[in-house]
Amino acid sequence: MANKKRGLSTVIATLILVLLAVVLAGIVWTVVNDVVKKETDYTESCFGIFEKVTISNDYTCYNLSDYNGETHDFSVKEFQFGIGITDVEVDELLISVSWPGEVQSFKIPGNYPYLKYYNGNYGEDLNLPGEDSGKTYVINVTRLGFEKPDSIEIAPTINNHQCEVSDSLFEIVGC
């Protein structure tokens, strides 16, 4: 008997290979596009925040006096800092204050026994300033066991992405 095997024509084999290559390229493109889109969204969230989330030099200082009128204590030292937010919506703010050999970090919004609004009470819930506004906060550095702070840095969280430091101050003056 004669060999009755039939083979694929060259044209059909070429079409199948081209179709397979197109399908694989589509799958790779979809995966790469999703990764690039996520990274772009992250970058865009934090892009352009420089000078939009800032520390106010006018309201940032160390209280050198020995008397605290709220607690009627002559030994409490305080560090106040002003935060301003302009033309950006911030979810959260990571604040790092450093002393010689130490760093204390906290997030606003939050509630801390050593932190308050200016003219507020320690331990109350703290919120961020609204868009195009500012607030002044006060840290009881005596309660933390520190003296005069060396520096303060702030890093916002925008669209659930922690951004880099947007502002810092390395020379803290007395009030």
Residue 168 pLDDT grade (very low, low, confident, very high; cuts 50, 70, 90): very high
**Does 38 score more than 80 pLDDT?**
no
**Does 143 score more than 70 pLDDT?**
yes
Q: Tell me: the pLDDT tens digits for 50-65?
A: 788 999 999 999 886 6
More confident: 84 or 159: 84
pLDDT score recorded for residue 10: 83
The two beta strands, 78-85 and 92-99, are: unpaired
pLDDT score recorded for residue 7: 63
More confident: 4 or 121: 121
Q: Tokens 């880099």 identify what position?
A: 164
Q: Tell me: the pLDDT tens digits for 70-100?
A: 555 545 688 999 999 998 889 999 999 998 8
pLDDT score recorded for residue 48: 74
Q: Estimate to the nearest angstrom the gap between the alpha carbon of 169 and the chain centroid.
A: 17
Bridge partners (DSSP) of residue 116 are 138
Q: What is the CATH number of domain 53-169?
A: 2.60.40
User: For a pLDDT cut of 70, what percent of the chain falls above it?
Assistant: 84
pLDDT score recorded for residue 32: 87
**Does 112 score more than 80 pLDDT?**
yes
CA–CA separation, 19 and 33 (whole Å): 21
Whether residue 157 contacts residue 92, with contact meaning beta carbons closer than 8 Å, is answered with yes
pLDDT score recorded for residue 65: 63
CA–CA separation, 90 and 93 (whole Å): 7
